[in-house]
Every structure is written in structure tokens, then in C-alpha cells.
Amino acid sequence: MPAVPRPRSPARHTGGWAAAAGITAVGTGLALGELTAGFVSPSLSPVTAVGGAVIDAVPPGVKDWAVSLFGTADKVALLGGMALLIAGLAALSGVVEARRRFAGVALIAVFGAVGLVAVLGRAELTLNAVPVPLLAAIVGMIALRWLVRRLGEWHSRALRAPADSAPGTTAPAAAPGTAAPAPAPAPGTTAPGTAASASAPAPAPARRRFFQALGGTAAAALIAGVLASTIRGAAAAVSELRSKLVLPGPSAPAPPVPAGAELGLEGAVPLVTPNKDFYRIDTALRVPVVNPEQWTLKVIGLVEQEISLDFAALLAKPLIERHVTIACVSNEVGGDLIGNARWLGWPVRELLALARPKDGADMVLSRSADGWTAGTPLEALTDDRDALLAVGMNGDPLPLEHGFPVRMIVPGLYGYVSATKWVTELKVTRFADDAGYWTPRGWSERGPVKTSSRIDVPRQARSVQAGTVAFGGVAWAQHTGIGRVELRVNRGTWQPAQLAPGISRDTWYQWKLELQLSPGQYEVQVRATDLNGVAQVEERAPVAPSGATGFHTVRVDVKS
Ligand SMILES: Nc1nc2c(c(=O)[nH]1)N[C@H]1C(S)=C(S)[C@@H](COP(=O)(O)O)O[C@H]1N2
Ligand SMILES: [Mo]
């Protein structure tokens, strides 16, 4: 005779399965977080970020101790330790959620916040990192609440069902340690608000529903986890190659930054944009992972000589270094889709000279590893402007997000017609025969960067102290150079700003102007004029099809 199960206290009855629900829920959140990170950017992984933060936070003595103890396996030990800690906390979240609704959910919210802080603290990341830990936490919280509710249904029905009901029907996939009573009509256990005639579902179906939920969630987590680690594995291998890569020095270094080019105004953006702060624009849902050892660049189309170049051959060329400001056509007036970096690369002109374009060719269609294309006027790649096949950005190999191992950088043209990242093919062709990715989508065929200027300090709608108010920002007229920058207050007369020397005519220039302002509201506008005396266009135009125009305008609230 089977022993009649004694009614158990809710916590003891559900403890083990609540812990399993917690681990499954958190695991699902993390797996989806890792998968998203794999798609969006290899550096967004919440687990890696937390691990990195731990490494950064550990006192040097402990680090040395860990290294001596674990040798080179210290990272493995760290990850193993983290996995144990996460599993423990996840189990705890399940147990507390079973005891008190939303207590476990709140615990996951706390993990999510820790993950978010860790991800935001990683040097190479910016705000685009926010969605990944957020997604991981939200998925974890929803899964936990759902699983624990299922567990609660099973458990409450199990308790309410008469313990001495007829034995016999065992539930499918009986869980270890759960002697659930056989299904029996349990009168009087109707759910609130349902018809009185409806009898409560028997415990076995409730139990089955819990295990289906648990199993389904675990399977989803496993699939996401396997996918994530496959993607991450490839990215990690290429990241490793990148971090070990030592780029050759330039045969022609960048002209020195002139003294005084950086005005150092508090709150202004630096003259050279650090890689981690550089804007990123591309159509790639997942950063293309291109192994430099397998990379080749093909030059095809209207050429006398087709060429195939590998990475080692490219690095063996005489590379030059240049500061170039690049901008996105989608940059609104006053926007931040623009940045200035020191690029190391081989002039495209020299490659094209070897290929010898045929008569009639007027465009080069560059193609990236993921199929994206840009159509660049042949002339811009062959004239003296030093269009580059770039391999280096501010002294480092290109970051993966910015086109590793090789991208194009063309002074004076918007990125969508020139700055192909992860470039693998140059087809010499004609505008009449080919078009880059964005052209048939409503953007103009040629994309010279429009002269523009921006006020960075004070920020829009910022209140400042009356008296001397320092204004500052940047201005650019690529490949022509800036001749003058002026400010006007409340549409008054234009006042010349101090213009810092540019690094070159292909970079932005900094400017500043101190104004005496008494308390009140002001509207301040900036206007740049290039070295040919052509002022930026005042009339407002939207970014499509060929770039925004208009004066950047900020409202400033001057307080006494
Ligand atoms: N492969 C590829 N390269 C690309 C793009 C893209 O979508 N795919 N976008 C271009 C656009 S529109 C711009 S503005 C620049 C941005 O370069 P960045 O992300 O390094 O700042 O890259 C260009 N190169
Ligand atoms: Mo762009």
C-alpha cells in the first residue's frame, strides 16, 4: 500500500522546483541577452561585462593570488565562479518568488541593474548597450513569474485535492520527489469568478503544465545559449586576432595637430573622437565578423588589370596616416553623427593605379562582407584627397563595429557613398550602370558633405550664469576648410568667433566665443563659411535626400 502523502508546508513542497524555476528563468534571460549581444555587438555581453567588472574591481593582491592559484585558467575559474554565483542567486529568486509574489522578480531586477551598470562601465560601450541587459532582465522576470505561477497552481491544487483520493493515475513524466495525489474531482475548489459548476483542474494536469512550462523554457534557453555561443565563438576568435594585431607604422605620419587646434573648452567634444565615442551607423543587424587571415579585396569591373589583395599584402604597402572627419548624411543640424579620427591606410588611388580603370568608368562600387554597397565617384578616389583603405583608427586596428579589418575613408563625402566598412570588393563601373545601397532608397547619388557648424556649449535649453558666457563647438567644410565662424544672438548681427586652426581641410575645426549676457532668454545661432567664402546654407532642409541644412540654434536661459 502506498503511503498517503502527508500535506507539506508550501515552501518545502515547492522549494526544489521553485529553485529550478529560478535557474531556468534567469538562464533564459541571460541566454537571450547573450544572443542579442552576439547579434548586435560582440562587446555587449552582460556576462562578459559583469566578469570584466569583477576583474577590474578585484584588488591587485587577490588577482595575483588567483593567477598563482589557477594559472592561466584564472578566467575559467572566474567564469565558473560567476556561473555558480548566478545559479545560486537565480535559485534564490525562484524560492523567494514562490514564497512571496514579485520578491524573486525584484531580485532579478537588481541583477539586471548590476549587469546594466557593468555593461555601461565597459570602456568601449555607450548607450546602445542599454537594451541588452534590460532585455535579459525583463525576459528573466517574466519567465520567473510565469513558471512560479504554474508551480503555484500545481501546488495549491495538490494541497487542496483530498489526500486520500483514489490512487492509480500517475501523471506523465512524474517528477522526482513529488508524490502528487491522483486526479480527483475536487468540489468546492472553483476559481473565483468562474461558474460554480466548474470543478478545479486536477493536480496531475497542473503538474504537467508546470513541467511543460519548465521544460519548454529550458529548451528555449538552451537553443538561445548554443546559438549565442556559436556566434560569440566566431566573434571572440576574430577579436583575439584583432587584439594581437600590431599594425605597421605609417610611412607618412599624419601632419601634427597644430598648437591651439584643441581649444579645451569645458563640455566641448574633443578634437579627435575616441574610438569608443565614435558614432556608429550601418545596416548590419549583427556586426560582420571578418577574419583578417581570410580577408581579400578584389578589384574588378572596368579595369585593365583585376587585382586581389590579402591583408598581409595590404599591410606591406606604404601606409599613410591622416586625420579625417567623417559624417553621416542622416546627421541633423546640430546632431552627433559625425566624428574625427586619425586613420591609417593605403591610398585607394595607388590600388586603382595598379588596376588601371578603363575609359568611361566614373564610379567605384565598394561592397562589404555583408553585401552592403556604396557608389563613390572615381575621381574622389583618385584625386589628391587621400581616400584610404583604412586599417587603423586612432592608433588601433579598426574596432569590429567600425569595419575591421579594412574599411574605406573618403574625405569630403558622406559615409553612405564612401565609407564602406568590412570592405571586400571594389567594382570599377559607371553611375549609369550601378548604384550603391541607399541610392535607390531615396538618397542622392552623390553625397558631398555640406558645410555646417554646431554649438556644443552651452547645451540646448541649459541655464547659465549671467555675465561672460562661453560658447563653443565645431565647424566643417570638408576638403575646402573653414574660413570663418560667426554667432548671432536673437537674430542680431553676426559676430566673429575665435576659429582654432584645423588639423587639415578634411577635418572639423573648433571655435569659441565669449559673450556678455544679462539675465533673460536668448536664441543663439552659428554659421560657418568655407575658405572659398561660401557660407553654409541658411534654409532648412531635411536630411533626405542629400543632407540637412540650416543654422544650429540653441536656446539659452541666462540666470542672474
Ligand atoms: N558595410 C557597411 N559600411 C557602411 C555602412 C553600412 O551600412 N554597411 N554605413 C555607412 C554609413 S551610412 C556611414 S555614415 C558610415 C559610418 O561609419 P562608422 O559607423 O564607423 O561611424 O559607415 C558607412 N559604411
Ligand atoms: Mo550614414
Angle between helices 131-160 and 203-244 (to 10 degrees): 160
Q: What is the pLDDT of residue 63?
A: 60
Angle between helices 46-57 and 10-40 (to 10 degrees): 100
Task: Kindly give the number of the ligand 1 atom that is closest to the alpha carbon of 421.
Answer: 3
**Range scoring the smallest mean pLDDT among 34-38, 71-75, 86-90, 457-461:** 71-75
Q: What is the pLDDT of residue 537?
A: 97
Atom 21, ligand 1: residue with shortest CA distance: 280
Instruction: Name the DSSP letter for residue 304.
Output: S
Testing ligand 1's pocket by substitution, the residue of 41, 128, 278, 281 carrying the most ligand atoms inside 8 A of its CB is: 281
* Mean pLDDT (whole number) for 7-36: 81
Which of 299, 391, 376, 400 minimizes the C-alpha distance to 346? 391
Contact, 310 vs 351, CB < 8 A?
no
CA of residue 421 to ligand 1 center, whole Å: 6
Residue 189 clears pLDDT 70, i.e. is over it: no
Instruction: Report CA-CA distances (Å) from 314 to 105, 244, 391, 398, 433.
Output: 53, 17, 9, 14, 29
Residues with CB under 6 A from ligand 1: 278-284, 328, 368, 370, 372, 402, 415-416, 419-422
Contact, 400 vs 379, CB < 8 A?
no
Cα dihedral across residues 301, 304, 306, 310: positive or negative: negative
Atom 7, ligand 1: residue with shortest CA distance: 282
Residue in the block written with cell 570592405: 423
Which of 46, 52, 53 minimizes the C-alpha distance to 26? 46
* Mean pLDDT (whole number) for 432-445: 94
Q: What is the pLDDT of residue 176?
A: 39
Q: How far is CA 226 from the centre of its chain?
A: 22
Residue in the block written with cell 559676430: 495
Instruction: Name the DSSP letter for residue 542.
Output: -
Cα(506)–Cα(476) distance, rounded to whole angstroms? 8
Q: Which domains does the chain have, with CATH numbers?
A: 11-161+203-234 (no CATH), 275-441 (3.90.420.10), 452-559 (2.60.40.650)
Instruction: Report CA-CA distances (Å) from 280 to 65, 70, 115, 326, 419.
Output: 40, 39, 23, 11, 12
Task: Kindly give the number of the ligand 1 atom that is closest to the alpha carbon of 328.
Answer: 14
Residue 7 clears pLDDT 60, i.e. is over it: no
CA of residue 531 to ligand 1 center, whole Å: 28
- Please, what is the end-to-end C-alpha distance for the chain in angstroms? 90
CA of residue 371 to ligand 1 center, whole Å: 12
Q: What is the pLDDT of residue 232?
A: 77
Q: What is the pLDDT of residue 134?
A: 87
Mean pLDDT of the chain: 86
Angle at 138 between CA 136 and CA 140, to 5 degrees: 65
Half-sphere exposure at residue 439, Cβ-oriented, CA atoms within 13 angstroms: 16
Instruction: Name the DSSP letter for residue 332.
Output: P
**Beta strands, E only, 381-466:** 388-393, 396-397, 407-409, 423-429, 452-457, 462-465
pTM of the predicted protein model: 0.70
Residues written for the chain = 560
Contact, 483 vs 533, CB < 8 A?
yes
pLDDT (tens digit per residue) in 305-336? 999 999 999 999 999 999 999 999 999 999 99
Write the Ramachandran bin of 501: left for phi over 0, alpha for psi from -120 to 50, otherwise beta: beta
* Mean pLDDT (whole number) for 478-500: 97
Cα(275)–Cα(411) distance, rounded to whole angstroms? 18
CA of residue 288 to ligand 2 center, whole Å: 17
Angle between helices 10-40 and 103-121 (to 10 degrees): 30
Residue in the block written with cell 549583427: 286
Q: Confidence class of residue 13 from pLDDT cuts 50, 70 and 90?
A: low
Contact, 545 vs 448, CB < 8 A?
no
Instruction: Report CA-CA distances (Å) from 73 to 48, 66, 239, 490.
Output: 16, 9, 19, 64
Residue 382 clears pLDDT 70, i.e. is over it: yes
Cα(284)–Cα(97) distance, rounded to whole angstroms? 39
Q: Confidence class of residue 480 from pLDDT cuts 50, 70 and 90?
A: very high
**Range scoring the smallest mean pLDDT among 63-72, 238-247, 472-481:** 63-72
Strand bridging mode 407-409 / 373-377: unpaired
